Structure 1
Amino acid sequence: MAITESLDCDLVFYTNPMSRGRIVRWMLEEVGSDYRQVLLDYDTQMKADDYLAINPMGKVPALVHRGQVVTECAAICAYLADAFSDAGLAPEPKDRAAYYRWLFFAAGPLEAAVMDRVLQANVSRDQERMVGYGTYEQTVSAIAGAVSANDYVAGDRFSAADVYVGSHLMWGMEFGSIPRRAEFESYVARLIERPALVAAKAIDDALAAQTGQG
């Protein structure tokens, strides 16, 4: 795998080193295909018309592969696992129940519960039925059960779902939005030494330092 400057590269990654793009960077390193990166700043380039034509939300990351646009980290992880199936980052279709379940649980209930907590958006008992996560405590316990049932969230093999779920837990524990439960610590310990994660972190840390964001 290598970052290329070639305009002919059919895999283009739009990101900022201090963003959720770090999740996709890890996934790209796991996939092992050459890609071209386009670094965007928050205040101007993400809101420029040419980028809004790719992602009208004006956010990163985004991926363009052979003319097809994919946004949203969970979707990008799932897409890359299928587009580069030789990397073995998705279970066989018949075995994908847990893979899809926890990948999108992290993208939906987990992220919503964590962000509401960070933003101090209080959900009353009467409102719990209206939100997909119910309560923060229920959500955290559910994901704790998922990552402790097997070595990896979709079974006994690492998959794209672990890139996404693992990233949420690592960041959450680092910044205090997710508790340092034993289940999470054990799970993350199985991920942090993966060469692809080490390589991805080194790239983004260096870019953050270069752009004065580190």
Structure 2
Amino acid sequence: MSEDLVLYTTPMSRGRIARWMLEEVGAPYRAELMNFGPGMKDPAFRAINPMGKVPALRHGDAVVTETAAICAYLADAFPEAGLAPPPGSRDRAAYYRWLFFAAGPVEAAVTNKVLGVTVPDDPRMRGMVGYGSLPEVLDALEQALRGGDYLAGQSFSAADLYVGAHLAWGMAFGTIERRPAFEIYTARLTERPAAIRAREIDDGLLAEQGQASG
């Protein structure tokens, strides 16, 4: 398979997480910048992602969508970067657990909060809601962070990147409450060299877009 890596993204989207992951991996990649609106619904892009959304990643003939899946794929495709614990290990179990906890319960609970969706106070209805409640989700994350600096063993992994990005974004925009454990955790992660590089690239693109529209 060709080693070409192409990220389809916009600088104000979950594509920022995928770019951070690519910077951590360290392999050469190219970014195809998309515009929200008709451009993402164009048949050419829908052939890559039928949902017409970013981010999407193309690695040779392979295509990956969904940000958590992109992070997991890149960690496995470039094992030399050390972004995932060994398969079958206890740390790998924690890695999967928290990576997909953020992709499922965290995403759903935060989105419902933003949309003003309230789960009825009825045990039958609450049982249908996989995340329970936003406070329960955040309590679970906070408890996990008491175990050490990282979520899956003693080393930074793609799970930390994905969870940390969600927490940092949510606290910045007020969709996730600021808790000391979250602030300490995200401060450590977002100062990683790869995180800074990715942020500078996307912030630079946002500034260019602002100048072009001004």
Match of 2:132 in 1: 134
Residue of structure 2 aligned with 1:64, choices 53, 58, 66 = 58
> Unaligned 5+ residue runs, structure 1?
1-7
- Residue 148 (structure 1) shift: 2.4
% identical aligned pairs: 61
Q: Is residue 109 of structure 1 aligned with residue 105 of structure 2?
A: yes
Instruction: Answer whether contact 1:15 1:39 (CA < 8 A) is retained.
Output: yes
| Structure 2 counterparts to residues 43-192 of structure 1, below 5 A | 43-95=37-89, 96-126=92-122, 127-192=125-190
Please list, as runs of the form range in 1=range in 2, the aligned pairs for 1:6-25 lying within 5 A after superposition.
Answer: 10-25=4-19
Choose which of 180, 193, 196 in structure 1 pairs with 2:194. 196
**SS of the residue aligned with 1:149?**
coil
Name the CA distance, whole Å, in 2 between partners of 1:179 and 1:154: 23
1:122-161 superposed Cα distances (whole Å, 9 cap, x missing partner): 1012222101101111111011112221111112110011
1:31 equivalent in alignment to 2:29: no
The alignment's TM-score, normalised by the length of structure 1, stands at 0.94
> How does the TM-score come out when normalised to structure 2?
0.94
Match for residue 4 of structure 1?
A: none
- AA paired with 1:44? P
Q: CA deviation at 1:44?
A: 2.0
Q: How many residues align?
A: 207
The 1:39/1:158 distance shift into structure 2, 3 A limit, reads same
- Asked if the contact 1:148/1:187 (under 8 Å) is kept, the reply is no
Give the whole-Å Cα distance in 1 for the aligned partners of 2:116 and 2:166. 19
Gaps of at least 5 residues in structure 2 are none
Give the partner amino acid of 1:49.
P
Q: Shift of the alpha carbon at 1:183?
A: 1.1
Alignment partner of 2:24: what SS?
Answer: helix
**Which 4+ runs in 1 deviate beyond 2 A?**
none
Q: Aligned equivalents of 1:119 and 1:169: distance in 2?
A: 18
Superposed CA deviations along residues 9-44 of structure 1, whole A, max 9, x for unmatched, are 611110000100000000000000001110000112
Contact 1:81 1:90 (C-alpha < 8 Å) held by counterparts: yes
